[in-house]
A and B are shown apart, each in its own frame.
Chain A
């Protein structure tokens, strides 16, 4: 640990740091712009200047840029040196020569790093007396607003967008004080991580367009610690609300998951919460199940539910992978034995179980996103990560630099010297192998790419396993391409120190999951214990591994008497085709649907109960690595909305009062879960309970600067009203409470004196860019245990294409494939129109032009035909048909697993 002398005080820095990181990590203030904890140093802005002295006798010293100077043992620096201070003030003065004085009307005002740094540097009086430079702004799509006049040319945007996230359409143009950061022409920023520009930009050049459409100042936002609902990774988010409208999503740092960055689906998908289709009141349908519906008040709805529960001889319940653990547990409790489903079909249920089983094995490491980022070899099997788990794709991109970083170390180049490492990197591809059904965006950073059907990918992985571990059976008739890829993978894994294997459920095939698990085990047998990560379909898919149910299809058959069916936060039409849904539902005497947004399923309900979304309710989600994380309501549920589990708890109270103590609060149900499901016993620890206080105070969701708390309702009363009480969490719907730093799982926003922007985060970390003080939120639930079932060693048969039939493969889209985010207008705008994907070879053979209409129909004859325009999808192998998942219009085609299709083109 190097010892530094900072303004005469001896302090200990971390190893391999630069002076800026060291200074910030020690809790000192030093202004900066171009440095970013994840993007590191380039030395462009010259803001972090300090004086460095050679030794004790050196009184003159020289100005150095802290971010570009290694924090070596014995280094003597001064932050307060008058010359260094004057230089830093001078840098701000220069930046201000062209920066508009539009803070009062700027979106960034109040959370602007430039504002903070200007105050910190002490520049206040303007001496530049010439006209300012002005730019023309660009339209950059539905997510990002562009205001180039505010730019201070720190280069963070292009460094994040191009260097870090692999973007291609944002550039730095022109020279001197006219450098322009934008696209070559107006148009949507194409990269899936463009939203991070909002947080990366130290001022208001790139701002949140969705936020702008219902703008409010940062200090007036009510925020809470929350978890993203739009994929299985469980990225930590900080949503902000005012006046009952969810205004925006900001990244909430989690060292092992999302770090500093979110994907655009996660950042901009939130607007489903503000959707006009939200269900705000209970609705009851006439006995005859006609279109005659009437709204009923909360109490009446609850009474009706109680009555249904009381009078039903049999209760079946279907939960959901997008509903919380609490909700699913409550449903399972209310349902009769064997009549609860976690809301997944036969295949998906099996896949999730397989994934959990594999992760429980002691032969593998459960890889977090951070582990993937730090991996020195990554094998991706079957997942188009950019579209199924975008934040993980971003991590794989960073892993692709492992070799270059190792080389930099050899040459004595510190890893924080970003431009130097990038110069070394050039377009060297990382130790990454990708095998998917079609070409993916990540292929550009891969050393080996191959495409094939899910089974072919599995066979290839088995092949690689057999090369690593002689106890694995050899795959005899592996294709030439698969054999080459298998050899490459085996060689890669054999030499890796920290390999990670990634697979998932997106191809609805257990063969890929089994093969990936086997490969990870083989890797452990041959060399180093491999990391294993799975991508699951939805934000709480993993909870089904703990709260097991029967497949959805079996709920009807298992219920001898089809009496009461409770559906919770699930649209059955996304699981079955319309005929099947209707058959399924009509069988039951009463159908109760709980959801936050209208779906076709809610239309079929006898009773619809309004549910709080993640923004209005609290609960727990279990992410893809088995980590339970709590999300807390951002604002109190309005109207008659309540969390699903709370509705069920109310309804249940009449039926089985003896089975449990009443669930009045989140802590009540969490305690029940912990005692009922041993493997979930740690779930109570995923965040402190409602009784938690600091210094006897709750944690405020509102900022100390929250304005006008007595003025907002001045037209009604000039008295301050009592804040709503939150019985479920240690958080308060108030600005009053503990004003220090709460534990990480309870941190709704970051702020420190003088640090009003997201850069205040440094003050919450043990080391700038490192873990949060207090540890990473959440608790890992998947404990190592001996396999309950023998791991499958079945090698799937070779794919043999059929003359007139096509095997489905599944194509995913970051925008459009996920149910909730697809309701957000911006996401909808970015979504693709539905299509059927064909291979280039088949298109040529069938003489198909892109856009030609195709009809597909399951060869089995069960299921509906679907007619859509075709698109040629690069990388698809001949004999398959690509079906995009979740796009509007494709729900009609419900495929649980790959199926053979008949294909007909329009004459």
Chain B
């Protein structure tokens, strides 16, 4: 089994410096792309590889790039932004990649930037990722010193400046356009699409915003080709994926595995199964803003299309496990409270709907709920659907709620009827 993304990563070891990374075959992809390939060819290659965005939406990366104006009249500077604002609860895959192999991200960015002929690249890094900051900063410095960044990369005519930007910290900054506003020094409110960032992005110029994991795949695609990349996967969706499991399992963590690895394998083999005395009850497959899946779904392959068919989303591919001693209402309340707190305050459904939903859930969890509240909650899951809100934050936020109301409705009712949380007895042992 080939695992290109983590091949340089050894737990407990410092990441490879430029020399080591290069010795391990690093920057070959970048050198090839910049010196031997036309930008359009890099775009076609990535499109052919069927690399799907790893940030959660699963959109074809090559397709995304193809919307960037490439003719001579195209506005400049063009920008490439690595979205390293990994704020999705339960998600820690990009952190692994940045902390333990920073050069891989930089190489991916050089190729992506070259493919769209970007002049300037940014890494928009989550505020709390201080170790990643230190290691990325060191790697960038090495690159500038060796001519891998800056003027005339690898002796070519192509130049690229790369800046590492540490976010001031808000969930909203991880949203593609909110990130652009934040990078411009403005409130991290999202922007309406269209126009898409490819046409008018950072400072009104053509911009590609790409997730860290997505970018890390690119050097390997250039080096080994699209067919090789497709062959890594177990399903029609190419490549490998960094999967993660958190919750009360024996060995929580993150692993690179072929795309389409089954959930049960992740849970039982890699995460070591549930902790003693606990039973699996449900899971959020890809971070906090995806719908719950339950026992019957465990044999599904973890890829974008399979999970979507089951009524949820692959999202970031990092599962959060709910066990039978944890209150689903409490869990949903915890998540909604987070999203309500992180609402940027731009559109009404989000800035008023989410805090209200959080209040209702809290009151149910406290044993102060009304039966009518269930209708109100259900109504919110409908009213906060995509299109009704300005961006994807609120629709994502209500995904765990709507599926919890579907799979765990009786638990909500019990809270209201008993006027207390039935899971209180487990709390001391938790």
Residues of A contacting B203 in the complex (Cβ-Cβ under 8 angstroms): 426
C-beta contact mask, A36-56 vs B, less than 8 Å → 1, else 0? 000000111111010000000
Once the chains are docked, how many angstroms separate the CA of A98 from the CA of B348?
12
Q: Are A95 and B348 within 8 A (Cβ)? A: yes
- The complex places the Cα of A423 from the Cα of B184 at a distance, in Å, of 10
Measured in the bound complex, the distance between the Cα atoms of B350 and A153 in whole Å is 12
Q: Of B11-19, B47-55, B104-112, B338-346, which binds chain A?
A: B338-346
Instruction: Determine the residue in chain A with the shortest Cβ distance to B73.
Output: A410
Rounded to whole Å, the gap between the CB of B359 and the closest CB of chain A is: 5
| A97: Cβ under 8 A from any B Cβ | yes
B191 touches A47 (CB 8 A): no
Q: How far is the CA of A97 from the CA of B341 in the complex (A)?
A: 17
Measured in the bound complex, the distance between the Cα atoms of B359 and A94 in whole Å is 13
With A63-B387, A417-B192, A420-B191 in contact, do A177 and B352 touch (Cβ < 8 Å)?
yes
Cβ of A91 within 8 Å of any chain B Cβ, yes or no, is yes
Number of contacting residues on B, CB 8 A? 39
A130 at the interface (CB under 8 A from B): yes
Output the least CB separation between B164 and chain A (Å).
Answer: 22
Evaluate contact between B388 and A425: CB separation under 8 angstroms: no
Closest to B370 in A: A129
Q: Choose one: B194, B343, B347; the contact of A43 (CB below 8 Å).
A: B347
Beta-carbon contacts under 8 Å, B375-430 to A: 376, 379, 383, 387-390
Task: Evaluate whether A419 and B376 lie within 8 angstroms (CB atoms) in the complex, with A153-B351, A424-B200 already known.
Answer: no
Task: Please report the C-alpha to C-alpha distance between residue A43 and residue B187 in the assembled complex, in whole angstroms.
Answer: 16
Given contacts A44-B348, A94-B353, A176-B345, contact A425 B204 (CB under 8 A): yes
User: Taking A45-B347, A63-B388, A175-B341 as contacts, is the C-beta distance between A423 and B352 under 8 angstroms?
Assistant: no
B-contact bits for A126-168, CB 8 A (1 contact / 0 none): 0110100000000000000000000011010000000000000
The CA of A654 and the CA of B346, in the complex, are separated in Å by 70
Judge whether A179 is part of the interface by a CB distance below 8 angstroms: yes
Q: What are the residues of chain B within 8 A of A413 when measuring CB–CB?
A: 194-195, 200
Minimal Cβ-Cβ distance residue in B for A33 = B348
List, in ascending order, chain B residues with CB within 8 A of A43's CB.
192, 347, 390
- Could you tell me the distance in whole angstroms from the C-beta of A409 to the nearest C-beta in chain B? 12
A766 within 8 A of B: no
B30 interfacial contact with A, CB 8 Å: no
Instruction: Indicate if B355 sits at the interface (CB-CB under 8 A).
Output: yes
In the docked arrangement, what's the CA distance between A46 and B353, Å?
Answer: 12
Residues of A within 8 A of B350 (CB): 176
Q: Which residues of B contact A417 (CB under 8 A)?
A: 192, 195
User: Residues of B contacting A152 with CB < 8 Å?
Assistant: 348
CA distance A886 to B344 in the complex (A): 47
Q: How far is the CB of B425 from chain A (nearest CB, A)?
A: 28
Given A175-B345, A423-B204: A94 and B192 interface contact (C-beta under 8 Å): no
Contacts of B351 in A (CB 8 A): 153, 175-177, 179
B389 near A46 with CB under 8 A, answer yes
State in angstroms the CA–CA spacing of A62 and B386 once bound together.
Answer: 10
A498 to B249, CA, bound (A): 70
* A residues near B345, Cβ cutoff 8 Å: 153, 172, 174-179
Q: Mark A396-407, 1 if CB is under 8 A from B, else 0.
A: 000000000000
Q: Determine whether B354 belongs to the interface, using a CB cutoff of 8 Å to chain A.
A: yes
Let me know if A68 is at the binding interface, CB within 8 A.
yes
Question: Which residue in chain B gives the minimum CB-CB distance to A172?
Answer: B187
Option from A46, A178, A420 in Cβ contact (under 8 Å) with B349 = A46
Closest beta carbon of chain A to B90's beta carbon, Å = 21
Q: Which of A68, A90, A176, A426 contacts B355 (CB 8 A)?
A: A176
Contact between chains at A42 and B204 (CB < 8 Å): no
Q: Which of A45, A62, A90, A177 contacts B383 (CB 8 A)?
A: A90
A87 at the interface (CB under 8 A from B): yes
Q: Mark A172-187, 1 if CB is under 8 A from B, else 0.
A: 1011111100000000
When the two chains form their complex, are residues A420 and B379 in contact, meaning their CB atoms are under 8 A apart?
Answer: no
- Which of chain A's residues 51-107 have a Cβ closer than 8 Å to chain B? 62-64, 68, 87, 90-91, 94-95, 97-98
Q: Is A276 on the interface with B (CB-CB < 8 A)?
A: no
The reply on A907 being an interface residue by CB < 8 A is no
Would you call A424 and B204 a contact (CB within 8 A)? Answer: yes
Q: Is there a chain B Cβ closer than 8 Å to A800's Cβ? A: no
What B residues does A128 contact at CB under 8 A?
356
A411 an interface residue at 8 Å Cβ cutoff? yes
Kindly report which residue of chain A lies nearest to residue B345, judged by CB atoms: A179
In B50-109, which residues have CB < 8 Å from any A CB? Answer: none
| Known A176-B355, A419-B191: A91·B343 in contact at CB below 8 Å | no
Q: List the A side residues contacting B347 at CB < 8 Å.
A: 43-46
Contact B204 A426 (CB under 8 A): yes
For window 481-522 of chain A, which residues contact chain B by CB distance below 8 Å? Answer: none
CB distance from B260 to the nearest CB of A (A): 31
> CB-CB < 8 A to A64: which residues of B?
387
Residue of A nearest to B180 (CB): A423
Query: Across the interface, do A87 and B383 meet the contact criterion of CB distance under 8 Å?
Result: yes
Residues of A within 8 A of B342 (CB): 175-176
Nearest CB of B to A135, in Å: 13
Cα A425 to Cα B200 with chains together (Å)? 10
Known: A44-B390, A176-B340. A155 touches B204 (CB 8 A): no
Q: Across the two chains, which residue of chain B brings its CB closest to A93?
A: B352
In the bound complex, residues from chain A placing their C-beta under 8 Å from that of B353 are 94
Quick one: closest A residue to B379, CB to CB? A90
Is A130 in contact with B349, judged by CB distance below 8 angstroms?
A: no
Give the chain B neighbours of A178 by CB distance below 8 A: 345
Q: Collect the chain B residues with CB atoms within 8 Å of residue A98's CB.
A: 352
- Residues from chain B with a CB closer than 8 A to the CB of A174 are 345
Contact string against B for A residues 412-433, beta-carbon threshold 8 Å, 1 for contact and 0 otherwise:
1100010110011110000000
Nearest A residue (CB) for B177: A423
* B199, CB-defined interface residue at 8 Å: yes
Q: Annotate B351-370 by CB proximity to A: 1 below 8 A, 0 otherwise.
A: 11111100100010000000
Cα separation A168 to B322 with both chains bound (whole Å) = 49
Given the interface pairs A68-B192, A153-B351, A423-B191, the reply to whether A175 lies near B356 with Cβ below 8 Å is no
The one of B204, B359, B376, B390 in contact with A46, judged by C-beta atoms closer than 8 angstroms, is: B390
CB atoms of A130 and B195 under 8 A apart: no
Contact residues in A for B352 (Cβ distance below 8 Å): 94-95, 97-98, 177
Known: A63-B387, A417-B192, A424-B204. A46 touches B356 (CB 8 A): no
A127 in contact with B376 given A46-B388, A46-B389, A153-B351 (CB within 8 Å): yes
Measured between beta carbons, the chain A residues less than 8 angstroms from B359 are 130
Instruction: Provide the residues of chain B in CB contact with A425, threshold 8 Å.
Output: 204
Q: How far is the CB of B180 from chain A (nearest CB, A)?
A: 8
CB-nearest residue of chain B relative to A424? B204
Contact (Cβ within 8 A) B200 A47 = no
Distance A178 CA – B356 CA, assembled complex (angstroms): 13
CB pair A155–B383 under 8 Å, yes or no, is: no
Interface residues in B188-220 by Cβ distance below 8 A to A read 191-192, 194-195, 199-200, 203-204
Q: Which of B131-170 contact A (CB under 8 A)?
A: 170
**B195 interface neighbour in A87, A179, A411, Cβ under 8 Å:** A411
Q: Give A428's nearest chain B residue, CB to CB.
A: B204
Cβ contacts A to B, 7 pairs, < 8 Å:
A43-B192, A175-B343, A175-B351, A179-B345, A413-B195, A423-B204, A424-B200
Residues of chain B having any CB pair with chain A under 8 Å: 170, 180, 184, 187, 191-192, 194-195, 199-200, 203-204, 340-356, 359, 363, 372, 376, 379, 383, 387-390
Chain A residues within CB distance 8 Å of chain B: 42-47, 49, 62-64, 68, 87, 90-91, 94-95, 97-98, 127-128, 130, 152-153, 155, 172, 174-179, 411-413, 417, 419-420, 423-426
8 A-B pairs with least C-beta separation? A94-B352, A179-B345, A424-B204, A176-B343, A130-B359, A175-B345, A177-B355, A46-B348
Known: A90-B349, A176-B355, A411-B199. 11 other contacts (CB 8 A): A42-B192, A97-B352, A97-B356, A130-B363, A153-B345, A153-B351, A175-B344, A179-B345, A420-B195, A423-B200, A426-B184
